[in-house]
Amino acid sequence: MTTHDLRSLISEKIDLRWSDWSSQHPHLALAIDRTRLVESAVDLLRQDPEFIQAMREADLDEAKLALAASILDRADQLIRNSLPL
């Protein structure tokens, strides 16, 4: 996941809760720079061992899916060559 994608995802999640939270904490909401809040959350996630591990596993899963798709494509080619129309 790129930093831009992560930043967008975090921003969307903050936006979902911001209205309710800011109505409960109006003075604090005025004092918080939302851009910095997003950047801080991105930085914290990038340093979080569980997040890092989850992203590694996602990369491995993606690589496995790509390999499986490649194998299926190759099998399809072999079948088409073996059974031409």
pLDDT at 1: 75
Residue 25 Cα distances to 10, 32, 35, angstroms? 20, 11, 18
Residues 6+ away with beta carbon under 8 Å from 19: none
Q: What is the pTM of this model?
A: 0.65
Digit-coded pLDDT (tens) for 6-37: 999 999 999 999 999 999 999 999 999 999 99
Predicted confidence band of residue 84 (pLDDT cuts 50, 70, 90): confident
Digit-coded pLDDT (tens) for 44-64: 999 999 999 999 999 899 899
